Structure 1
Amino acid sequence: MNRAPWQSPTIAKIAEISGVSSATVDRVLHNRGGVSQKKVLLVQRALAELQASQEKTQPVEEMLEFGLLIDSDASFTVALKDIIAESNDADPSVKIDVFSSLPIQFDPGAFSDKIIEWGEKYDGLIVSCREHPAIARAIETTVESGTGVVCVTTDQPHTRRLCYAGLDQVAAGSCAAHLIGRFARKTSGQVILLGSAAYRCQEQRGIGFRRVIRSKYPDLSIVEYFNQKDNSYTAYEYLTQYLKSSPPPIGIYNVAGGNAGITKALLDAGIKNDVLFVGHELTRVSSELLEEDGIDFILTHDISTELERAKVILRMQCEGKLEKQNFEPLLPVIKCKYNLD
């Protein structure tokens, strides 16, 4: 809620309170002289009383409270919570609370119930989760109740969310294909595409990846493994089983979490230096993997900008100023060990 503009007490009101004429008040306020000290004090006291009274009745700017609900692996969730803590400290006019669910524990019914519950509790919601009919219904219910919803990182395009404020995921997948196609040690062979669940962001990354591999690098074939649940243990098991029965791939593109498990599987198989590995999200874990050559490239994005975009849209919606808003998708950022912040 915005603070109402300040209005100085009128001369007539000061005259009424002080018991002197408007002309006398005008002379005192503009330091024209010719007024007794007694009347000057009466005017000054009346002015102080009116200003104090007006300050008490000024509406106080209310803090907006937004809820962020995320369904993601632990390392990305921790990174996001760190950024939100910094945002809350830097901007006292907005407070963001977080509810998180790990993919391996994900319950669509419980998560959708939480969306509806938080939609009634908060001024707006920021959502980052997989697509599911129950999730879509919960977003629709929240929007119908008057609470705005903005999607970050992964979209829910078949709902009435206010906008998607995140990354161009197709471009990210295209970048991964280019990196593997151009910089892998071999120009032919198999490339493994690893994913976890029905996240639109992962599907779009896969679209961009397949498009570039098939059009630009026809000597590469894609082997897809999905449902590794954004979990390092599951990713390790999938890749280890694959390597026992198949020749080593020339590259791996992981569109999900679990990067540490993939690195461990490659190290245990003794082929880490022969496989170009591209993953997603710059977190504490992935930064360490980059520094130690456990992963070659990380595709990341400006999460802070996504959150700021979401805050702007939700604030405008709360103030009744929102018109149709679509942001240009953010572009992916390629990180290696030599350009870490």
Structure 2
Amino acid sequence: MSGPTMEDVARLAGVGVATVDRVINQRAKVRPQTAQKVLAAAEQLGFHRTGLIRHRIEQQQAAPRLGILLQRQSTYFYRELGLALEQAAAGRAKLLIDYLDVLTPQHVAARLLSMARDVDAIAVVAADHPLISQAIDTLAARGMPVYALVSDLTADGCAGYVGLDNRKVGRTAAWAISRLSRQPGKVGLILGSHRYLCQEQCEISFRAYLREYAPQFQVLETLPSLEDINLAQGATLELLDRHPDLAGIYVAGGGIEGVIEALREEQRSGLVTICHDLTDITRQALNEELVSMVLSHPLEWMSTRLVDTMLAGLQGRNDRASVQVVLPFAIHTVANV
């Protein structure tokens, strides 16, 4: 007489045969409570693969492995974010942080797929691109959750987003320029890339606010920096040279170091400059009054919420298919740094 089958285990546990198969072969994630039901049924029936089921569950109960894909480590913001993430994960999860120097969609997508072999969940800072969406959807189909960090992503399989309300960020920057400028004039706008949804949303809301509440300000054509310091410096020098009536500059992407260097070189009086994220460089620029306001991510809080969200997802505690964790941003001026 043959022993108990997977069908018998599934029937006693009150689950489908596919769920028992996922526990045994790790084809996809199974809720810990469900896996325990499968184990209890297997033990009660004397199922011949009970030992393997127990081993699979013990593997799942080991410290979760979280993978984080950040951008260039040479960028102060990402170095600080990496440190904050390490502190947030300490004693709770094993953290694998990879800083990407090559930001092409092909490279980011390939790194997502390769990192998935070593971790249980991934968070990524990336531009929104079909190749990256395809990689995320592929991983989601395998049961690997991928979260967008700092900049949201449109992939159907994206497990969630942790970051700021960038509509509010852009409107706050516009409000600041309209209120701090000595007189109306032209306004320059520098972005890293429209592929980053966070920057695109900042630009849209920035323009919308000025169009509605301060139409006397003329927002110029957006200049791309491609997150490059030298390109950002060149774009700023071009703005200052071509527009003597420039009232303000909003830097909604990377390359702020180059913008600050150009402002220091030109020393344009009365110019209102708004940028993102408080670093040693932007703090010094505030003190020198080269920058008027810095809108900043709360790194420690954001890191903690990201780790919380990723762990909750692995434990089956996220109530929604896609989790949105939107945090308030900090506002820094020379008066409070």
Report the aligned-residue RMSD: 2.5
Q: Tell me how far apart the structure 2 counterparts of residues 318 and 309 of structure 1 sit (CA, whole Å).
A: 14
Q: What is the CA-CA distance between 1:274 and the residue it aligns to?
A: 1.6
Shift of the 322–154 alpha-carbon distance from structure 1 to 2, 3 Å rule, reads same
The one-letter code of the counterpart of 2:137 is E
Q: Tell me how far apart the structure 2 counterparts of residues 84 and 321 of structure 1 sit (CA, whole Å).
A: 21
Shift of the 138–276 alpha-carbon distance from structure 1 to 2, 3 Å rule, reads same
Uncovered stretches (5+) of structure 1, i.e. residues with no partner: 3-57
Q: What is the CA-CA distance between 1:110 and the residue it aligns to?
A: 1.4
Equivalent residue in structure 1 for 2:278, among 271, 276, 282: 282
Alignment match, 1:25? none
CA contact (8 A) 2:128 2:154 kept: no
CA contact (8 A) 1:279 1:297 kept: yes
Q: What is the CA-CA distance between 1:291 and the residue it aligns to?
A: 2.6
- Runs of 4+ in structure 1 deviating by more than 6 angstroms, as ranges, are none
Alignment match, 1:260? 257
Secondary structure, counterpart of 2:250 in structure 1: strand
Alignment match, 1:269? 266
CA contact (8 A) 2:145 2:159 kept: yes
CA contact (8 A) 2:105 2:127 kept: no
| CA deviations over 1:149-169 (Å, ceiling 9, x no partner) | 111210003332111121000
Alignment match, 2:92? 93
Alignment match, 1:37? none
Q: What is the CA-CA distance between 1:125 and the residue it aligns to?
A: 0.3
Alignment match, 1:78? 79
Q: What is the CA-CA distance between 1:311 and the residue it aligns to?
A: 1.9
CA contact (8 A) 2:133 2:154 kept: no
1:303 aligns with 2:299: yes
Q: What is the CA-CA distance between 1:114 and the residue it aligns to?
A: 0.4
**Bigger mean CA offset, 277-286 vs 322-331:** 322-331
The one-letter code of the counterpart of 1:112 is A
Summarize the alignment of residues 149-164 of structure 1 with structure 2, pairs less than 5 Å apart. Answer: 149-164=146-161
Q: Tell me how far apart the structure 1 counterparts of residues 292 and 112 of structure 2 sit (CA, whole Å).
A: 37
Identity, % of aligned pairs?
Answer: 23
- Size of the aligned set, in residue pairs, is 282
**Bigger mean CA offset, 231-240 vs 177-186:** 231-240
Q: What is the CA-CA distance between 1:248 and the residue it aligns to?
A: 4.0
| CA deviations over 1:58-94 (Å, ceiling 9, x no partner) | 9695211111112367122112122123224xx3121
CA contact (8 A) 2:191 2:223 kept: yes
1:180 aligns with 2:177: yes
Q: Tell me how far apart the structure 1 counterparts of residues 318 and 209 of structure 2 sit (CA, whole Å).
A: 38
CA contact (8 A) 2:88 2:307 kept: no
CA contact (8 A) 2:70 2:98 kept: yes
CA contact (8 A) 2:134 2:155 kept: no
Q: TM-score, normalised by structure 2?
A: 0.77
Summarize the alignment of residues 198-213 of structure 1 with structure 2, pairs less than 5 Å apart. Answer: 198-213=195-210
| CA deviations over 1:216-273 (Å, ceiling 9, x no partner) | 10100001333212222111111212332332410000001222211221232231x3
Q: Tell me how far apart the structure 1 counterparts of residues 328 and 317 of structure 2 sit (CA, whole Å).
A: 28
Alignment match, 2:221? 224
Which structure would you say has the larger Rg?
A: 1
Summarize the alignment of residues 1-341 of structure 1 with structure 2, pairs less than 5 Å apart. Answer: 62-71=62-71, 74-88=75-89, 91-102=90-101, 105-186=102-183, 188-197=184-193, 198-271=195-268, 273-324=269-320, 326-327=323-324, 329-340=326-337
CA contact (8 A) 1:170 1:208 kept: yes
CA contact (8 A) 1:178 1:212 kept: yes
Q: Tell me how far apart the structure 2 counterparts of residues 260 and 211 of structure 1 sit (CA, whole Å).
A: 27
| CA deviations over 1:164-199 (Å, ceiling 9, x no partner) | 12100010000000000011121x210001101110
The one-letter code of the counterpart of 1:253 is Y
CA contact (8 A) 1:152 1:307 kept: no
Q: Tell me how far apart the structure 2 counterparts of residues 138 and 327 of structure 1 sit (CA, whole Å).
A: 20
Secondary structure, counterpart of 2:66 in structure 1: strand
Q: Tell me how far apart the structure 1 counterparts of residues 109 and 209 of structure 2 sit (CA, whole Å).
A: 36
Secondary structure, counterpart of 2:67 in structure 1: strand
Shift of the 284–84 alpha-carbon distance from structure 1 to 2, 3 Å rule, reads farther
Uncovered stretches (5+) of structure 2, i.e. residues with no partner: 1-30, 33-56
Shift of the 248–259 alpha-carbon distance from structure 1 to 2, 3 Å rule, reads farther
Q: Tell me how far apart the structure 2 counterparts of residues 170 and 93 of structure 1 sit (CA, whole Å).
A: 33
The one-letter code of the counterpart of 1:282 is L
Secondary structure, counterpart of 2:107 in structure 1: helix
Q: Tell me how far apart the structure 1 counterparts of residues 153 and 223 of structure 2 sit (CA, whole Å).
A: 20
